[in-house]
A = this chain, B = another copy of it.
Amino acid sequence: MGGDHAPQATLDGAREALLEWPSLQILLVGDEGKIRPLLGSHGFHAGLMDRVHVVHAPGVVAFHDEPKVILKEKKDSSIRVAAQLVREGQAEGMVSMGHTGAAMMASVLVIGKVDGVDRPGLACLMPNMSGTPSVFIEVGANIDSRPEHIAGFAIMGAVYAEEVLGIPNPKVGVLSVGEEDSKGTEVTLEAAAIFRKHPHLNFQGNAEGRDIWNGRFNVIACDGFVGNVVLKSAEGIARLVKDGMKEALTANLWTMVGAAMVKPALMEFFKKLDYKEYGGLPLLGVKGVSVIGHGSSDARAVKNAIGAAIRASESRLHERIQARMAELAPALMDGK
């Protein structure tokens, strides 16, 4: 029920996912009275309905609700019920497009954290010219992280890069303000020190802001304050470039003709940069799959978020993270 275009975009995305992945089953969690009447008009024909289940959850989470309130008082909200389904093993994973804070809190408190993980982290796949995105973690406003949290984000990001993106021995960096080892805050310097004690982690040193977009690192870890700001700043730049190019290309008939000629090639390129291609951000470090989409997600973004959840589930991501954390827990404890 969450997101700017719910439930229409969610339903359309779910239908497209059912068509793309023939063994997929979907639980639609929300107000049954609102969802059921829409199924027919959104193309859920009889053949698909065998793989669709509606789970009634009438509670609504408002943008300004405090996440804690949702969990205590809104037990019938769709986000809370979805997390409960994952916890009970009735769903392999959940996908949500609503209130990020509520989705993170429901995932952490209801599904629960992987043993050895103190702070689960929201990861974002960042595009670059190499064709293989980088894992940028943490972007969910997990603020005031300690060094061992940042190290934990990096380790979980590396497991994601290996298991889901198929990158062997991913190159890991800690986000800082200069390449030199001496550059950084107390927290980033200590996080880097934790990595240096473990050469097998393939730590490549400090990453800079520009490295988020050039593929030099496969995983870049940071505190959720800076990660969230970087992500929203990138959204702001995308909006500015989109508006500015539109204005420039429709300036006169000449530019409009030229624009028509280059449009397919430009669209192809900008599609590569579009978060909707990845659809949603995986929350790493919870005992199940949770993918959190952008509030403005359209049907394509919803479908791709479901795809991200399928890949995370098929690679048994949270079990891999648990195994890796068990192996590394002593190293992280040293950092405290």
Contact = CB atoms under 8 A, between A and B. Distances in A.
A247 interface: yes
Most buried by B among A175, A210, A257, A259: A210
Interface in A204-250: 208-214, 222, 224-226, 228-237, 239-241, 243-245, 247-249
From A185, A224, A229, A272, name the one whose CB has the most chain B CB atoms within 10 angstroms.
A229
Contacts of A176: 225
A269 interface: yes
Contacts of A214: 236, 239-240
Q: Is the interface of A mostly helix, strand, loop or mixed?
A: helix
29 contacts: A127-B240, A128-B240, A141-B177, A141-B183, A143-B184, A176-B225, A177-B225, A209-B231, A209-B233, A209-B234, A209-B235, A210-B239, A212-B236, A213-B236, A213-B237, A214-B236, A214-B239, A226-B226, A230-B230, A233-B234, A240-B273, A244-B269, A245-B269, A248-B268, A248-B269, A249-B266, A255-B265, A257-B261, A258-B259
Contact of A241 (B230, B233, B241): B241
Contacts of A269: 244-245, 247-248
Contact of A229 (B141, B144, B226): B226
Contacts of A244: 129, 269, 272-273
Contacts of A265: 248-249, 251, 255
A237 B234 contact: yes
A143 to B, nearest CB: 5
Interface residues on A, range: 35 or more
A269 B268 CA distance: 21
A72 interface: no
A251 to B, nearest CB: 5
A141 B178 contact: yes
A260 interface: yes
Interface of A: 64, 127-129, 141, 143-144, 175-178, 180, 183-186, 208-214, 222, 224-226, 228-237, 239-241, 243-245, 247-249, 251, 254-255, 257-262, 265-266, 268-269, 272-273
Contact of A177 (B143, B212, B259): B143
Contacts of A141: 177-178, 183
Contacts of A232: 208-210
A300 to B, nearest CB: 20
Given A185-B144, A233-B213, A233-B230, A129 B268 contact: no
Contacts of A235: 209-210
A261 B249 CA distance: 10
B209 A228 contact: yes
Contacts of A239: 210, 213-214
Contacts of A208: 229, 232
A213 B240 contact: yes
